[in-house]
């Protein structure tokens, strides 16, 4: 979502994104003309008339589970976004916790009193 028009999004998808991601991005790009939605999330820069780059992971209950806001010169990491979505889905489905850097198939943590003070036994961070 950005303050750009749907027409700008269409050109961006056709001329740029489709060349970076086969078939373009697989979700709709939304237009926030006037920055009303960006203002609600605290990312609309009224003086510049733009939304600052941010991403928000919102669960099916409408609760923000994660957010990241970056200044324009710093690029985002789509692979990390996908990893986090998969981790939040896993947590929601199983009730397990995913440690730092978790990816599907890796060790998860089972929250409870037996884990307290023993995380180091089951989780080894990767360098």
Q: What is the pLDDT of residues 43-79, one digit of tens each?
A: 999 999 989 988 999 999 999 999 999 888 888 888 8
What range does the domain containing 46 cover?
A: 1-51
Contacts of 104 (CB under 8 A, 6+ apart): 86, 90
Q: How many domains does the chain have?
A: 2
98 within domain boundaries: yes
CB atoms inside a 10 Å sphere around CB 80: 12
58 within domain boundaries: no
Residues 83 and 43 in one domain: no
Residues 77 and 126 in one domain: yes
Residues 46 and 4 in one domain: yes
Q: Please tell me the predicted confidence (pLDDT) of residue 88.
A: 96
pTM summary value = 0.76
Task: For the chain, list residues with pLDDT below 50.
Answer: none
62 within domain boundaries: no
Residues 76 and 119 in one domain: yes
């Amino acid at each position: 979502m950005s303050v750009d028009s749907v027409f700008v999004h269409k050109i961006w998808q056709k001329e740029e994104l489709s060349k970076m991601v086969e078939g373009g991005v697989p979700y709709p790009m939304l237009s926030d003309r006037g920055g009303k939605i960006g203002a609600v999330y605290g990312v609309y820069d009224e003086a510049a008339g733009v939304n600052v780059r941010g991403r928000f992971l919102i669960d099916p209950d409408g609760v923000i589970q994660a957010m990241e806001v970056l200044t324009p010169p710093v690029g985002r990491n789509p692979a990390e976004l996908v990893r986090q979505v998969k981790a939040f889905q896993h947590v929601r489905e199983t009730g397990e916790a995913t440690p730092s850097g978790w990816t599907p198939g890796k060790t998860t943590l089972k929250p409870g009193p037996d884990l307290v003070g023993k995380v180091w036994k089951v989780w080894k961070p990767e360098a």
